[in-house]
Structure 1
């Protein structure tokens, strides 16, 4: 069934015919969009960029730093290390530390509000962390995967910059207090052992000085009982520390000692001079052990610095001057384009597809009548 054809000129005629309607739609929607954009609060974004650096013992810090600039996470800080930093920054514990450090609970929940009176402190902290997570975004560059960007959006530009700075501070504190590398474990162990050896060395010196003052030094006259080990269910063991040795030593010197030979292994009737020589040897052993521990402690501190993760600030957070949102120009352009398309579409619909203006095909009977009339004429 043949229908009337629609040409491009017909569309142009429709647009010209309904130009006032289209202009009205465009004008109303565009002006409404502009008014709405000015009703939105202005927000500012502050951001900082960091690069995780983990120095290994296989090279110098400079070489690791240069290797970390290689693209796609090859060399330097690997993707696993970057993910570790992302986990730190996005963790709930980390957000709670920022909330507490900046005292954001009174900011997010004023004391005279209904919400503040209904919620507990823990609920307030959870909601504050969620709100902080909505304000601060942690992202890493898709091309330069080692680069991590921390951005904060707020109506107050000073507050936005303050949030980003606090994130950097808390990140450094989090690394220093919570990251436990193998070298750090060794350093903590050596630090504890050094304190014990230091005390034992000084106590041994006090014992020898006291022994010199109270006892005559002789190989023949004067003897003491010297404890050497402790009996246990698993066998014989050495004294755990100097305090245990001193306690058993004092007990063994008493005439009515309550310690039997089944509990303490000791040597009876040791001459004073021999015991003094034995104590001197023990003191030398303690001093040598203390020196060795001190050297190992210094090495462990150096290794800890090499293994402990850190980061380099690529871009410092500054107080933003220009607003981040709303993008009024972009909203106006979008409103103009949408309204223009809407006006054109509505005009075509009214002209060609509405039931009132729909183009009807010519009926076959009418066509035959027209042909017959033409032949008669």
Structure 2
């Protein structure tokens, strides 16, 4: 009898310290045996955003304990795992160093292969862990650092169809919240305030709507929010609620146009796929209004809409372990212990650089 493959995953790319043990059964099914996440929300909330130095130090203090806890919950030892998977990028370089160096040390000491995983690939493949999804499919990644529409052809085979040309959607949510005096993290705060707001009070722009290209832009929308808030200052609670609702409405309409065009393109290129799918991942995927927009859009175009459980949409080690398992199952080579962390690491290395190019490489 062939036993399942088992991997220990490590994630430290931003402000969550995480470790997990995940199985891949011979029939391809995934199983999360343990999944431990320690949030640093309280450490960063006073600053209105993630402070890289604080995040790195917190990872150093917590990671060993979390790995031990993940192994204990899975009732296994290092000798029982087949490989180690650790996030190698993209992300905050201090945190990446902590996680990847820890992964290297464990791999060397236990004599196990190491898989240096692209954090974005973890998001891209999560739907195969949770829903057994087959290739190809579309993924919308919406987080604090990325907003991309990606064609997932196979393990290690990704084609970027659209990306932000300025701010990521999560960044726009966070900066809107900060402008309005709402607490960090901004996404949940804006969504909560919008519940009692009038989404039609402010007519905010919908950047790139109507264009054939599938890219995104949120900088102009963020500027319009600031101008609206300044023009009616001082703001009442109702003003804040109306601005949030109108902002969220503009984002929803933007996604409806951008993603709608992407679904139509997928239909043109992959007409033979009986039931195509759109996967949404990243922290912004927790927003219920945006989920509702995407669900309705998929219903209209005949797509399955797949949103993994919220805990697997945000940063976690289970998705990193699964990405390593996918590579292991495909027979792809493991990584050398000299592999360096990368603060910037696009999934589609062939795509044109639209934003953030410099010494560290292309951001997206």
TM range (shorter): under 0.3
TM-score of the superposed pair, with normalisation by structure 2: 0.19
Greater relative contact order (CA < 8 Å, ≥ 6 in sequence): 1
**Structure in which a larger fraction of residues adopt helix:** 1
Bigger strand fraction: 2
